[in-house]
Amino acid sequence: MTTRTDAVARLTGRAVTGERPLSGALAEVTLDDGRVVIVKRVDDPGATRAEAAGLRWLAGAGTVRVPAVHGHDAHWLVVDRVEQGRPSREAAVRFGRDLAALHAAGAPAFGAPPPGGPADAYIGLAPMRNEPRTDWPGWYAEHRVLPYLRRAVDQGTVQPGEATDVERLCERLPELAGSAERPARLHGDLWNGNVLWAADGDVRLIDPAAHGGHRETDLAMLRLFGCPHLDEVLDGYQEKAPLADGWTDRVGVHQLFPLLVHAVLFGRSYAEQALAVARTALAG
């Protein structure tokens, strides 16, 4: 099996002078020119391909900054290390503006994968199918909500009787989704852990599950898991691209997808949150 240092040397074309493991899958590696990169080990070749394609697609918008991709193969991904700083209100406003510009860069369709990215991708450790469609409510139900609901039911995390509430919400999505919007270029897994506040004062986004989607989904995920200075992020976003009327009432609808993913991966507490937001949306 190829070692981590061998993979980095091959993918970057530089000799390795040091390494520091960060976790079972991640390490910092120092190159002979003094640069420090992050290397990730992934067992599924599609996952490295999807992440590399996603990072390049986000970078191509020239808006929110992401770590540069130095190379990848079936099992290894090498990207820039981000030297981390502290969150600030000023950086949050800039991030909001840049995120709005990223979304405005667009995508060919809802569910469209990044150029060069596979249809069978991942969100975190969960498989995620990128299947393009022109209709957001139908696509969101078929390819984002219902696959994870079915898995949660099969696992026993959600009871069949409880699943009815989510299924009813999916049927009502055309009336709950708000006014139609064109497909946005999404990060796709925009929880706080994937938002790095860099030492240079700018934000970097890592670990995307990039695809064409609804821009409110990224914002709903930021709110779901917490984000420093979220009000300032939203102020910057609205300054650049005002959100449609009623967007705050739709937050739960957009949080349903990540909550069901977490229910599949991490259990019942997330299933209860998903059921709660579905019932609240139906009651509204």
Asked whether residue 56 falls in the same domain as residue 94, the answer is no
Asked whether residue 94 falls in the same domain as residue 208, the answer is yes
- Between 239 and 225, where is the model more confident? 239
| CB distance 220 to 120 below 8 Å | no
| CB distance 244 to 178 below 8 Å | yes
Asked whether residue 140 falls in the same domain as residue 201, the answer is yes
Per-residue pLDDT tens over the stretch 228-277: 999 999 999 999 999 999 999 999 999 999 999 999 999 999 999 999 99
Domain count of the chain? 2
Q: Would you state the structure tokens that stand for residue 112, as one six-digit string?
A: 């469209």
- 249 assigned to active site: no
Per-residue pLDDT tens over the stretch 143-192: 999 999 999 999 999 999 999 999 999 999 999 999 999 999 999 999 99
Q: What residue type is 242 in one-letter code?
A: P
Mark which of 24, 59, 80 sits at the end of a domain.
Answer: 80
| CB distance 114 to 211 below 8 Å | yes
Asked whether residue 231 falls in the same domain as residue 191, the answer is yes
pLDDT at residue 225 in the model: 86
Percent of the chain surpassing pLDDT 70? 100
Mark which of 33, 60, 80 sits at the end of a domain.
Answer: 80
Check which CATH number belongs to the domain holding 26 and give it.
Answer: 3.30.200.20
Q: Is the pLDDT of residue 2 over 80?
A: no
Asked whether residue 172 falls in the same domain as residue 250, the answer is yes
Asked whether residue 65 falls in the same domain as residue 97, the answer is no
Check which CATH number belongs to the domain holding 110 and give it.
Answer: 3.90.1200.10
Per-residue pLDDT tens over the stretch 128-147: 999 999 999 999 999 999 99
d(Cα 206, Cα 55) in Å, to the nearest integer?
8
Q: Global pTM?
A: 0.95
> Which H/E stretch holds residue 5?
helix 4-12
Catalytic residue among 98, 189, 207, 218: 189
Q: Which domain holds residue 259?
A: 89-283
Asked whether residue 109 falls in the same domain as residue 131, the answer is yes
Asked whether residue 97 falls in the same domain as residue 114, the answer is yes
Asked whether residue 57 falls in the same domain as residue 99, the answer is no
Mark which of 56, 80, 104 sits at the end of a domain.
Answer: 80
